[in-house]
Amino acid sequence: MPNWFRRGPRAEVADALPWHGWRLVVALLLAGALAAATFPPVFALPLLSIGLLFLYRCAEDAGNWKRAAWCGFWFGLGFHTAGLYWLTDAILTRVHEYWWAVPIASPGCALILAPFAAFPAALCRYVAPGWRRMFLFAGSWTLADMGRIFLFSGFPWNPVGSALEWPGKLGDTLIQPASVIGVDGLTLATVLTALLIWRGRRWAVGLFVLWAAWGGWGAYRLAHIHVLPTINPVLALTQGNISEKEVLSQKDAIASFQRYLRLTTQGITQARRDYPDRAVAYVWPESGFPGLLDEDDIARRMIARAADGTWGVIGSDRRDGHGHWFNSAIALDESGNIAAIYDKSTLVPFGEYQPRFIPFNLLPGQLTPGLGLKTWNLPILGAVGPMVCYEVIFSGRVTGKTRPDWLLNITNDAWFGDSAGPRQHLATARMRAVEEGLPVAQDANTGISAVYSAVGQETARLGWGREGVLVAALPSPLPPTFFAGHGRLTPFILTLICMALSLFPFRKRYSRL
């Protein structure tokens, strides 16, 4: 095993696989699971490098591209099962109904995602061993990752580029290139490095120089950002810490409502005391209101009194006159009147809607998607781009036709318990801030609630499982970033260039296909 795993970079003919049959399957599953430790909150980048190298070697030594694809499939199954282990917590909230899904929730989703790892494992065999094959593997991995937005309503959770979102200044520095190339560009750079670092001393030195330049540019950007004048409000982000069982049963709906009223008053009072010259607004998370807010005049008046004459945004279910249900963010003015409504437009597959190909019913009720992202221009709140939960994970797809001055994501991560799920979700909000050059506020029912500046620096946080209110002055936006103007086209072109480099200079097609 050691000689096979560490064989020199100039090896042109692959040795035999050290394992076969079920032993190889188990090894690939474990390698994928260990590689998933690179995601928040662990950030074990060395394990990603070792895991990807193991998959790469297996793909090299497989008898043909079909066997290489199977290697990628088993690696991907372990990779995504471990990365999404927290999905089981969502099933446990309704275990009396979906007990049968407990052992298959995470592996089931991973089963759908595993072919995206099979693609680069198979495709890389179309060039000879060496750096060109590694370039083709990294490019095709990134291309497959980008393609996950087309899976049902899209599931681009845990792109490899998120492994660079280390806490603190180091992560702030490393993710700054996302303002140009997005998280997909970070994925390409990370996968390339994870493989090429094993090519030998010269490659290692070259990569060190490149990453030093990468970090230097990030540090320079952080030190020389051009900040626009302050125009955004101070926010009182309420975090009621209502368990998902309470949300679903509404057994203590009145107590939950009263808790959020109390937190609103507390937050507004604190914000006005700490920031007497700034506009103040309040936010309730997804599912914050235990009912249908647009149909409850009395509740809205009570909220207005608690907010003492300011504006806010509240998460609530909503229905229309045609039997359709929506997961919505509702803006209220100082009198409790509805000023704007945003209906969640990208729904969670298997959570909020059921793909049509499933012949039997899995969900007790399904939601209807809204008409698309919006930018509200409202007093106190200003120009804000509202989102609900899942929508913040979509790189390049978090703003409407008009660019807002800040982004707001309301969510209820109580589904996922005190696991990696809420941490990974919060990391996506941080990445969107860097990509778009906009401050992002995330308000979560059970946490983690936080505010990020337009360069992804955390300015305020309220941790998991805590009841309270997070009062934070929203930072200013930046001018539109390069990524904000061009979106995912830039990382897509870089990925194609990376794959094209693997074909030049032109050589006769490799014979071991």
* CATH code, domain carrying 467: 3.60.110.10
Query: Do both 199 and 247 map to the same domain?
Result: no
Q: How far apart are CA 218 and CA 413, in angstroms?
A: 31
Q: Considering the chain, what percentage of its residues have pLDDT values greater than 70?
A: 87
Query: Do both 93 and 67 map to the same domain?
Result: yes
286 is catalytic: yes
What pLDDT is attached to residue 498? Answer: 93
Query: Do both 241 and 203 map to the same domain?
Result: no
User: Which tops the pLDDT comparison, 447 or 37?
Assistant: 37
> Which tens digit of pLDDT belongs to each residue from 218-250?
999 999 887 666 788 999 999 999 877 666 666
Whether the predicted pLDDT of 504 surpasses 90 = no
Last-in-domain residue among 161, 191, 224: 224
> Which tens digit of pLDDT belongs to each residue from 305-322?
999 989 999 999 999 888
What pLDDT is attached to residue 167? Answer: 92
| End-to-end CA gap in the chain | 24
Query: Do both 201 and 320 map to the same domain?
Result: no
109 is catalytic: no
Instruction: Answer whether 164's CB lies under 8 Å from 137's CB.
Output: no
496, part of any domain: no
Candidate list 60, 165, 286, 352, residue with the active-site label? 286
Query: Do both 220 and 278 map to the same domain?
Result: no
Tokens of 375: 């930018």
Whether the predicted pLDDT of 347 surpasses 50 = yes
Tokens of 167: 């806490």
509, part of any domain: no
384, part of any domain: yes
102, part of any domain: yes
> Which tens digit of pLDDT belongs to each residue from 72-113?
999 999 999 999 988 887 776 665 566 556 677 788 889 989
State the average pLDDT over residues 480-501.
94
Average pLDDT across the chain, whole number: 88
pTM of the predicted model, to two decimals?
A: 0.89
Q: How many residues does the chain have?
A: 513
Q: Which of 234, 239, 334, 238 shows the shortest CA–CA distance to 274?
A: 234
Instruction: Answer whether 89's CB lies under 8 Å from 421's CB.
Output: yes
Query: Do both 73 and 216 map to the same domain?
Result: yes
Query: Do both 376 and 464 map to the same domain?
Result: yes
Last-in-domain residue among 200, 224, 248: 224
511, part of any domain: no
Candidate list 244, 389, 391, 436, residue with the active-site label? 389
Q: Show the domain range for 452.
A: 234-478
Domain count, the chain: 2
83, part of any domain: yes
Query: Do both 145 and 68 map to the same domain?
Result: yes
Q: How confident is the model at residue 16 (pLDDT cuts 50, 70, 90)?
A: low
Candidate list 71, 124, 165, 344, residue with the active-site label? 344
512, part of any domain: no
Query: Do both 251 and 369 map to the same domain?
Result: yes
Last-in-domain residue among 195, 224, 253: 224
What pLDDT is attached to residue 97? Answer: 61
Cis peptide before 338 (omega within 30 of 0): no
Burial (Cβ within 10 Å: 0-12, 13-18, ≥19) of residue 75: buried
287, part of any domain: yes
Query: Do both 291 and 440 map to the same domain?
Result: yes
Query: Do both 217 and 265 map to the same domain?
Result: no
Whether the predicted pLDDT of 10 surpasses 60 = no
State the average pLDDT over residues 349-360.
64
Query: Do both 163 and 78 map to the same domain?
Result: yes
401 is catalytic: no
Whether the predicted pLDDT of 123 surpasses 70 = yes
What pLDDT is attached to residue 152? Answer: 72
